[in-house]
Structure 1
Amino acid sequence: MPKILLIDDHRVILDGLKLLLETFEGFEIVATSTDGRRANALVRKWEPDVVVTDAAMPEFSGLDVVHDLGKHYPQLPILVLTTFDDASLVHSLMKAGAAGYILKDVSPEQLAEAITQVAQGGVVLDPRVARFAYTNPAAAQQSQELAILTRAERTVAELVAQGANNAEIASTLHLAEGTVKNHVSSLLRKLQARDRTVLALHLARALNPQDPVPGTDAAPRY
């Protein structure tokens, strides 16, 4: 039963979403807010399984929410629900670690399914904005590969791409080294990389398609 935190600067929309989602069996709305700046405190108090936030909000946007929560709760999935299909916004949100981005005109069933998917560790991207996630065809194909990663795996993947070893990743993300090892093993399996070096090079290209891939002298242990 996913516990959900809802954030939208329009009270009418926020109340409507709450009433709508509560009609689905197993959904529990633990808190709502019209101010994205309260997200951190509300997550700390209510420990939701999923955060659903609007993208365009005054003073503290959905992108700000994703950045802020990502620092403190990197494994908490955040689903962005909005009326906007702006290319740069979609790209920024997905790069920041949002678990999903869908438009507000989806059906109630589609919204419920999206929340369920991100709560289970999946990534959801509305087909109408999927083409905006990356800026070139090669990167778009790479983004589809990364879409199978959970939010936690993607966070680890970014550090693997930078050449960090398991101990460094564990220290940076405040995780047990065994947990990091499990994530890396999952990355190797999902991306079908034969070893850590190939994985790091693949991730570097996929996460930063415009940047040159740095050389790797040795494969860190995983």
Structure 2
Amino acid sequence: MSDRDRPLRVVAADDHPVFLGGLKLLLDTDPGLACIGTAGTGAEAVEVTRRTRPDVAVLDLHMPGTNGVDAARAISVAVPETALLMLTMLDDDESVFAALRAGARGYLLKDAQPAEIVHAIHAVAGGAAIFGPRIAHRIMDHFAVPRTPTSLAELTPRERDILQLLADGATNAAIAARLQLSPKTVRNHVSSIFAKLHLTGRAEAMLHARRAGLGSP
């Protein structure tokens, strides 16, 4: 079985056993997903993710000891190929943007429908950024300020082209194909964009680009 055909490997972390059990059942009953590990604390989430190296880690924010944001930050460093999806009850600005800065590609609330959770896992695994409706509205409200395209002045024309595609949620592979560049060249450009704009991940890059007027309407 090729990587494209196999189920996505997922680690789930939540400190509520009943919710965690239900989430594991959802993952195991979907043919496109497989739960390969669970954790009840942030520290356990980091350890299990380091050991199993899943495609996606689904994290709660409020967990004892190491919280979800700190766990996400540690996972982003230790296992950067693992996409992070936050699944939580917290919808305040501080929690949302702290999670994005820590490397989360998606943010859903726990009242999301099972199909939404499954879709979000596949989306973040594919490199997209995805948010629940209430979170999306909160993000849009936060960035409802005059556009500031001059903030992109430090970027080269090629970097602006790549940021334009990042704004639409394109993966590095899709960007490479669209611009006829090697994947390594795209990765280098993306790293340069993050450094110049002081960004911590793709989700934050997408929001920054949208704020500057890039991306499809």
In structure 2, relative to structure 1, the CA distance for the partners of 1:200 and 1:4 (3 Å cut) is: closer
Contact 2:172 2:183 in 1 (8 A): no
Matched, 1:102 2:123: no
Task: Provide the residue aligned with 2:82 in structure 1.
Answer: 76
User: What is the CA–CA distance in structure 2 between the aligned matches of 1:104 and 1:12, rounded to whole Å?
Assistant: 13
User: What is the CA–CA distance in structure 2 between the aligned matches of 1:107 and 1:12, rounded to whole Å?
Assistant: 16
SS at match of 1:5: strand
Task: Provide the residue aligned with 1:136 in structure 2.
Answer: 143
Q: How many Å apart are 1:27 and its aligned residue?
A: 1.1
In structure 2, relative to structure 1, the CA distance for the partners of 1:139 and 1:69 (3 Å cut) is: farther
Deviation string for 1:80-107 (max 9, x for gaps)? 0011211111011112210100011111
In structure 2, relative to structure 1, the CA distance for the partners of 1:46 and 1:202 (3 Å cut) is: closer
> What is the correspondence of 1:21-36 to structure 2 with a 5 Å cutoff?
21-36=27-42
Task: Provide the residue aligned with 1:40 in structure 2.
Answer: 46
In structure 2, relative to structure 1, the CA distance for the partners of 1:95 and 1:141 (3 Å cut) is: farther
Amino acid at match of 2:187: H
* Superposition CA RMSD, Å: 3.5
In structure 2, relative to structure 1, the CA distance for the partners of 1:200 and 1:110 (3 Å cut) is: closer
Structure 2's unaligned 5+ residue stretches are 1-6, 150-162, 174-181, 209-217
User: What is the CA–CA distance in structure 1 between the aligned matches of 2:127 and 2:102, rounded to whole Å?
Assistant: 16
Amino acid at match of 1:183: R
Matched, 1:60 2:66: yes
Q: How many Å apart are 1:22 and its aligned residue?
A: 1.4
Structure 1's unaligned 5+ residue stretches are 153-177, 188-195, 210-222
SS at match of 1:32: strand
Q: How many Å apart are 1:38 and its aligned residue?
A: 1.7
Task: Provide the residue aligned with 1:86 in structure 2.
Answer: 92
User: What is the CA–CA distance in structure 1 between the aligned matches of 2:66 and 2:89, rounded to whole Å?
Assistant: 17
User: What is the CA–CA distance in structure 2 between the aligned matches of 1:3 and 1:202, rounded to whole Å?
Assistant: 33
Task: Provide the residue aligned with 1:14 in structure 2.
Answer: 20
> What is the correspondence of 1:192-211 to structure 2 with a 5 Å cutoff?
203=197
The alignment's TM-score, normalised by the length of structure 1, stands at: 0.66
Task: Provide the residue aligned with 2:187 in structure 1.
Answer: 183
In structure 2, relative to structure 1, the CA distance for the partners of 1:139 and 1:82 (3 Å cut) is: farther
User: What is the CA–CA distance in structure 1 between the aligned matches of 2:139 and 2:98, rounded to whole Å?
Assistant: 8
Contact 1:6 1:32 in 2 (8 A): yes
Task: Provide the residue aligned with 1:119 in structure 2.
Answer: 125
User: What is the CA–CA distance in structure 1 between the aligned matches of 2:20 and 2:148, rounded to whole Å?
Assistant: 35
SS at match of 1:121: coil
The alignment's TM-score, normalised by the length of structure 2, stands at: 0.67
Q: How many Å apart are 1:180 and its aligned residue?
A: 4.3
Contact 1:123 1:147 in 2 (8 A): no
- Quick check: 134-143 or 112-121, which moved more? 134-143
The one of the two structures with greater contact order (alpha-carbon pairs below 8 A, sep at least 6) is: 2
User: What is the CA–CA distance in structure 2 between the aligned matches of 1:128 and 1:140, rounded to whole Å?
Assistant: 23
Matched, 1:148 2:152: no
User: What is the CA–CA distance in structure 1 between the aligned matches of 2:148 and 2:88, rounded to whole Å?
Assistant: 24
Q: How many Å apart are 1:131 and its aligned residue?
A: 3.7
In structure 2, relative to structure 1, the CA distance for the partners of 1:56 and 1:23 (3 Å cut) is: same
Amino acid at match of 2:82: L
Q: How many Å apart are 1:146 and its aligned residue?
A: 4.0
